[in-house]
Amino acid sequence: MPAGSNGWHDSPPKVHSRIILRNKKSLEQVQICVGVPSYRISDERRYVSYILNTLLGGGMSSRLFQNVREKQGLVYSIFSELNPFRDTGLLSVYAGTSRASAPKVVQSIVNEFRQLKLNPISDEELKRAKDQLKGSLMLSLESSTARMSNLARQEMYYDRFFGMDEIIERIQAVTVESILVSANELFQPDRIAVTVLGNLNGLKISRDSLAC
């Protein structure tokens, strides 16, 4: 069969960032999700977003885990994740906390956004994030099923195959400056969406509280 374009390179959808609070009295914990639009899966800046996500909430050494859980003790669980799609992407933070701590948790998450926008990360922190990401990538391709799924995914989204050496080279090329630029692109107050589920008991979150 003749080769052809997969036709999956659409323009990004228009984003409507909302604040949604859902009261459910039967829940003991308050579940919080804070998200911003990110880059689509084929965007060349995706490697910067991988590192940014790792720095923000990708494991126990991340800023969210260390500052919100370990230092402040505000949450039971907290992490960030990156979900890139063919036409857009999502960088989100999840946290499980108590009703009393919920406003402070949202404030702390937004503060981490602000710090990544205003202050360049150290070379040491960038190196740790790169090493963690490279290790995770290598471990994720240990099985034959994972390798074949990766081949299929790359053919669908990129129209070509990226070898591990090339991916690692792209990760290594991420700089402190590029992290700062992406943080300022992604963490815009008017694009932050928040969903809160739990026994809220009158909890309110305003757009002003998301200023970063």
- In order of their start, the domains of the chain are 19-202 (3.30.830.10)
Residue 161 CB neighbour total at 10 angstroms: 10
Predicted pLDDT at 123: 96
pLDDT, greater one: 147 or 192: 192
Q: Measured between alpha carbons, how far is 163 from 155 in angstroms, rounded to an integer?
A: 12
Minimum mean pLDDT among 79-93, 145-159, 177-191: which range? 145-159
3-state secondary structure of 197: strand
Write the pLDDT tens digit of every residue in 53-83: 999 999 899 999 999 999 999 999 999 999 9
- What does pTM read for this prediction? 0.89
